[in-house]
Structure 1
Amino acid sequence: MYNQTVREGKTMAIISYITVIGTLIAFIMNQNKHNYFASFHIRQSLGIFILWLIVNFIQRYSDFGWLNTILGIGVFVLWILGLLGAIQGEEKRIPLFGDQFQEWFRNIG
């Protein structure tokens, strides 16, 4: 049963990492099916997008120089890890924030 859930939700999970529009599309696609695997990745990608917004805000209104670059690269790495998890069919929570994203957005999906 688990493999069937992953197979059915894999496309939606991958789409959820393709910009915030992809997250919205995957969310809408998942409303009828309520696929747990897709929901997991939709929550992760939504959290990464919000994290990106926060880092972008910090970068615009601060002058931390190299720290801004490190924060941007860090969010990019988290995005890559989430996308790779979706492609591989795994429910890997992203480091540092994955548990919080699952808890904060538990009603999504």
Structure 2
Amino acid sequence: MGNLQTFGGPLSDNYINFKFYLAIKIVKRVRQFGMLTVFPAFAGHVPQNLARVYPSAKITQLSTWSHFNCTYSCTTFLEPEDALFTQIGSALINQYIKFFGTDHIYNSDLFNEMTPKT
């Protein structure tokens, strides 16, 4: 969703690996039933430090979300019109395809419960 930049954690490598291999099994089984998978596409939420690596990137600091202060919310958002948005989005999709194959269906909600800057 992109509404939180931190909460709890960090997740252990064991947990991450378990969830990854579980996802592979689930996707395989879903397709065996003849269903199509829908993977999340890049929604523009990026680490705060991205601006140090890409100083010309169009990055916006979003406002607080729900009852969380900026320690947890106020995520950093890469504007969709920035060319870097497409680069990151394509790289993400390519990783999904590498590990899970594709059914060519992706979903993204850029401003989930958030107000765009315009």
The normalised TM-score by structure 2 is: 0.27
Q: Which has the higher contact order (CA 8 A, sep 6+)?
A: 2
Structure number with bigger Rg? 2
Q: Which has the higher helix share?
A: 1
Q: Which has the higher strand share?
A: 2
